[in-house]
Amino acid sequence: MDAIALETYKFRFDLETIQCVHCGESTYDYYDLDAWPYGFADFAYAYERVAANTLEVHGLDASHPHVRLRGAIDDRQSSLHICQMCGWWVAIDSAVLPAAGSQSWLLNLVAPGALMELDVTDMSAPLGEVRRFLRRRYDARRWISPGLLERVVASVFQDLDYHAEATAYSNDGGIDIVLRDAANKRIGVQVKRRGRAIEVEQIRAFLGALMLGGFARGIFLSTSGFQRGAVLAANACRPWATVELVDAQYFFDTLGIAQMRAGIEPEESGFYDTGKPPIFLHSALHLGSI
């Protein structure tokens, strides 16, 4: 039997309203898990710690009916809780273990998913994993591969009901992504991975690219922000063109909306790929009065 960590899980959370320990978002909850690999023996192993405390506090010996387990599970519920934003998950197994005497013990075991670091300079990184990584480590936008960032942005717009296509060319004044909205109107998008705020000259170059490409609407997305002159230049192009400026915070929020729309099902979370994940004792209490 795999050893259960006798210490409690280092991240504390309320079992009634589970929130992601990384980004604080509420989780989606799924109950009655298939193929949960733990059983009575695992609960009994975790119970040994509870029993030791009970013996010390109440002066009982290990053979006392209030302490000795009957050898079965009275009631049980397993559940999986997934953060739709960053992909963190935790499986919870709660079981009522009856003692031989007039006591029952409620044990809550948790199996948390491990979030791995991701190389965002690797163009082959799966988009779903990159999007989840950015939601919990948004500072990674500063070193993400420009081409990968464009693919992420295109996928976000896809989830927001646009048809998105990354172009085959890219330069400082070019169009990185072409969108089509519900009315089939074309929108030119430029994506800039920048540490400094976008300057007016870059907006002017983008306006030229929109004009040459026949776009009446454009979106300039930056991983930083925009200088005042850049904002004024974007506003001055009306009415012949509409340019929307998307800064780092705006895109972070938009990515969150797209994540919620896309969703993460249990089969996609990685839970079923872990085999027999390490489990921790979250909490334990007796349901009778000793």
Map out the domains of the chain with their CATH numbers: 5-113+274-286 (no CATH), 127-262 (3.40.1350.10)
Phi/psi at 201 (nearest 5 deg)?
-60, -35
Q: Count H helices, E strands: the chain?
A: 7, 11
- Would you place residue 139 in the very low, low, confident or very high pLDDT band (cuts 50, 70, 90)? very high
Residue 290 in this model has a pLDDT that exceeds 70: no
pLDDT at 120: 94
Q: What is the pLDDT of residues 53-106, one digit of tens each?
A: 666 656 677 778 878 889 889 999 999 999 999 999 999 999 999 988 888 889
pLDDT given for residue 10 in this prediction:
55
At 229 the pLDDT is 97
3-class secondary structure for 46-103? HHHHHHHHHHHHHCCCCCCCCCCECCCCCEEEEEEEEECCCCCEEEEEEEEEEECCCC
What would the mean pLDDT of 120-140 be, rounded to a whole number?
A: 93
Better-predicted residue by pLDDT, 111 or 224: 224
Bond from prior residue into 112 cis (ω within 30 degrees of 0) = no
Query: Tell me, what DSSP letter sits at residue 6?
Result: E
pLDDT reported for residue 15:
81
pLDDT 10s digits, 198-235: 999 999 999 999 999 999 999 999 999 999 999 999 99
Please tell me the predicted confidence (pLDDT) of residue 224. Answer: 96
Region 148-154: mean pLDDT is 96
With a CB cutoff of 8 Å and minimum separation 6, the contacts of 196 are 224
Q: Which residues pair with residue 189 across a beta bridge?
A: 177, 219
Flag whether pLDDT at 150 surpasses 90.
Answer: yes
- What pLDDT is attached to residue 259? 95
Q: What is the pTM of this model?
A: 0.82
Q: What pLDDT, on a 0 to 100 scale, did the predictor assign at position 1?
A: 39
According to the model, what pLDDT value does residue 23 have?
86
Residue 63's pLDDT is 78
Average pLDDT in the chain: 87
Alpha-carbon dihedral of residues 198, 131, 254, 28, nearest 10 degrees? -160
> Do 13 and 24 meet the contact criterion of CB atoms below 8 Å apart?
no
Q: What percent of the chain has pLDDT over 90?
A: 52
Which of the two residues, 84 and 34, has the higher pLDDT score? 84
pLDDT higher than 90, residue 277: no
Query: 241-272 pLDDT, tens per residue?
Result: 899 999 999 999 999 999 999 999 988 888 88
Q: Which residue has the higher pLDDT, 35 or 190?
A: 190
The per-residue b/e assignment along 40-73, b for 16 or more CB within 10 angstroms, e otherwise, is eebbbbbbebbbeebeeeeebeeebebbbbeeeb
pLDDT of residue 289: 60
Note the pLDDT of residue 233. 95
Place of tokens 């009634």: 16
Decide: helix, strand or coil at residue 124.
coil
Half-sphere exposure of 267 (CA within 13 A, CB side): 0
Q: Measure the N-to-C terminal CA separation of the chain; round to a whole number of Å.
A: 31
> pLDDT for 160-170, tens place per residue?
999 998 886 55
Distance in angstroms (rounded) separating the CA atoms of residues 79 and 214: 53
pLDDT, mean of residues 265-284: 84
* Whole-number pLDDT of residue 280: 86
Q: How many CB atoms lie within 10 A of CB 139?
A: 9
Of 109, 137, 140, 97, the C-alpha closest to 46 is 109
- For residue 180, the surrounding DSSP H or E stretch is strand 177-180
